[in-house]
Amino acid sequence: MDNLSYLSFRKMELEDVFTFKNWARHDSILFLDYNFIEESEKEVVDWFNWKTKKPMSEYYVALFKDKIIGYMSFKNINKILKTAELGIVLDPNYINKGLGKDILKKFLDYAKDRGFKKIILFVADYNKRAIRVYESLGFKEKYKFLMLFQNGEYDKDNEDFIENKSSFKIILNKTFNYATKMELNLERDWWKMFLLEKNKYDLGETSFENIFINDFMPGANGEFVKVYILGYKFAKENREDITNENIADYLGILESDVKRAWQYWKKMGIIEIEDEKIKFVNLRELYINNVYNLKEEKKEDRGYSKIVENPTYANLLTRVEFLMREPIAPMKKIDIINWITSYNMPANLIEEAFFYTTEIKGIYNISYVEKVVRNWSKENIRTMEDVEKSYIEHDVKYYRYKKVMRYIGVDKKFSQADFNIINSWFDEFKFSKDLIFAACNRTSKISKPNVAYVDAILMRWKDLNINSVEEIEEKDQKKKKKKPTAFHNFKQITDKYSEEELNDVAMRKQKEGFKKLGVDYGTYHKDK
C-alpha cells in the first residue's frame, strides 16, 4: 500500500468532538443520520461518553494534513475470535475525494498489525458509493437484511427515494431499507483450523446438512443430538433391526431418554413419528419451503411461511431482526414464536425482552433473551405493568427512562443521551417525580415532544429555585409586565402639558406637516 503520509489517525479525545460541529451537513434524507447534530457543550460531552465508554469499542479521529476530517471505530471487539465491526463517518466536505478509501487502507493495516483476523461492517444498500469503496478494499457480501429506516417515512415524491426505490420496503406501514453485512479476512487462511485427511480405506461415511449443525444442534441437549446422529446413520444404512433399546445401549443412556429425544426432534419439526417408526425430514426441502415460501407446504402447523401470515408474529420477527442487527434463521424464528405458548408470554413482552437485552444491555444473543423471557415467566410477569415493576426492583434507571418517554409520548430507538439526561434529573439535580412529570406535561404545547425540551424547563425551574409543583404557578407563571404601547408613551408625555399648551403643540405639528408637503397652511385653512 502507498505511504499516504498526508493521512493519519489517533485515539479520539473530547476536544476533537467539538470540531465536528463545524462540519458540513448532508442534505439528502438518506444520510441525515451521519450529520453531527449536537450543539451544546453538554450534548457534545454526552455524545463523546456514549461512544467511547462502550465496552469493546474504540474510537479514532481521521486527519488530513493534521485537520480532523472524520472519525472511525472498532466496535463489538471479540478478543478471542480476533474480530471487530468497522465504522467510519467523514465530514461531507471531504467525501468523493478518495480520502475515505485511503484512510481506511491505513486503518485496516493497523487492524492487521493489532492481530485482528476479520473485520465486518454493515452498510445500507442505497449507500452505493460506500459499497464500491468497501468492495475495492476486499470486503465481501455475506448476506442482506431489512432494518427500520431511521430518517422517517418513505416519500414517494422524493428524488432520493425514487432513485433508490428497490432499496426500500414497506411492512405494516413502516419503512424499512435493505442493508448488507460485509466481511474482510485480513489473514485469508486463518480460519482453516480444521483439515480433512484423505482416507486410505473406505469405511463408509454419514453426511449431514449444515442446516442441522447451524440451526438445530446448538440449542439442543447433547444426548438428544447423539440420538439424532446415530438414528440418522442407521436410517442411511437402511437398518431395520434397530430399536430404541439398541440406541440406548449403544450410547450408554436410558431408553426413556431416547424416547424424549425423538419427541424433542418431532417438536422441532425435523422428524416424523408414525407407528413408532422414525422418519427423518429432508432438511434442505424443509428449509426451502419455509424460507422461500413455496406453495407446496407439508403441514399446516409447521413452517415459517405459516408464521409470517400472522401480522402479530410477522411484526414481532421484523422488530427482532432489527434489534439483533442481523437476519435470524427461520428455525430460530419458529423457536421465538414458540416462546409465546411455551412461556405463556405475549408478543409485546417478547419484543420488550429483545429491546432491553440488545439496546440496554448490549447483548446480541437469542439464548440470553430467552433466559430473560424464562425468568419473567417464572416470576409470573405477563403484562407491561409487571415488567415495569420488575424494572423498579432490578433496573430503576431504565424504569425511569421508560416512564418519562412514555409520559411525553415518544416512541423511538433507545437513546443513551436521553437516558443520561433523564437519570440526571433524579440523581444529580434531585428533582421530585411530580416536578419532572409536571415539566413533561408542558410538551403538549409543542408538535414534536422531546427530552431536551423537558430538560430546558427543569433547568429554568432550578434557576428559579422551584422545588415543588405548588411553587410553579407562584414563581414561574407570574405574568410579565406588559411593555408600554405607543398609546401609553403618548399619555405619559402629554400628562405634563395643559390643554392650551397641547393645542399649540398640535397646531405647530400640523404646520410642519403641510410645509413638508409644499402646501401653504394659511391658504389651506381659508379654503376650508
pLDDT tens-place string over residues 99-145: 889 999 999 999 999 999 999 999 999 999 999 999 989 999 998 88
The average confidence (pLDDT) of the chain is 81
SS3 115: coil
CB 188 within 8 A of CB 197: no
At residue 158, the pLDDT reads: 87
Q: Provide the residue type at 397 as one letter.
A: K
Kindly write down the DSSP assignment for every residue of 177-212, as one continuous string. Answer: EEEEEEEEESSTTTT-----PPPSS--------HHI
pTM of the model: 0.40
> Mean pLDDT across the stretch 305-315?
72
Kindly state the cell numbers that stand for 146.
431489512
By the 10 Å C-beta count (0-12 exposed, 13-18 middle, 19+ buried), 368 is classed as: middle
Q: What are 389-404's pLDDT values in tens digits?
A: 877 766 788 778 878 8
At residue 12, the pLDDT reads: 95
At residue 291, the pLDDT reads: 47
Q: What are 209-227's pLDDT values in tens digits?
A: 777 887 778 767 889 999 9
Give me the domains of the chain, ranges plus CATH numbers: 7-185 (3.40.630.30), 214-281 (1.10.10.10), 415-478 (no CATH), 486-527 (no CATH)
Q: What are 54-108's pLDDT values in tens digits?
A: 888 999 999 998 899 999 999 999 988 899 999 999 999 888 888 889 999 999 9
Q: What are 246-283's pLDDT values in tens digits?
A: 999 999 999 989 999 998 888 888 899 887 789 998 88
How far apart are alpha carbons 407 and 437 in whole angstroms?
8
How does residue 525 score in pLDDT terms, banded at 50, 70 and 90? very low
> Mean pLDDT across the stretch 356-381?
87
Asked which of 122-131, 364-373, 408-417, 480-489 is least confident by mean pLDDT, the reply is 480-489
At residue 442, the pLDDT reads: 86
Q: Give the C-alpha distances (Å, rounded to integers) separating 12 from 9, 176, 423, 424, 520.
A: 9, 32, 26, 25, 79
pLDDT beyond 70 at 296:
no
SS3 274: strand
CB 456 within 8 A of CB 464: no
Enclosing H/E stretch for 527 = helix 521-527
| Cα atoms in the Cβ-side hemisphere of radius 13 Å centred on 63 | 12
pLDDT beyond 60 at 522:
no
Q: Give the C-alpha distances (Å, rounded to integers) separating 345 from 18, 319, 324, 382, 386.
A: 46, 16, 20, 6, 12
How does residue 229 score in pLDDT terms, banded at 50, 70 and 90? very high
Kindly state the cell numbers that stand for 195.
483439515
- Cα 148 to its chain centre, rounded Å, is 8
At residue 319, the pLDDT reads: 87
Kindly write down the DSSP assignment for every residue of 64-98, as one continuous string. Answer: ETTEEEEEEEEEEEETTTTEEEEEEEE-GGGTTSS
Kindly write down the DSSP assignment for every residue of 3-48, as one continuous string. Answer: --TTEEEEE--HHHHHHGGGS----SGGGGGGS----SHHHHHHHH
At residue 238, the pLDDT reads: 85
Q: Give the C-alpha distances (Å, rounded to integers) separating 300 from 42, 293, 312, 315, 477.
A: 56, 13, 18, 20, 64
Cβ-based neighbours of 259, under 8 Å, separated by 6 or more = 244
Kindly report the number of other CB atoms within 10 A of residue 54's CB atom. 15
pLDDT beyond 60 at 479:
no
At residue 412, the pLDDT reads: 60
At residue 189, the pLDDT reads: 43
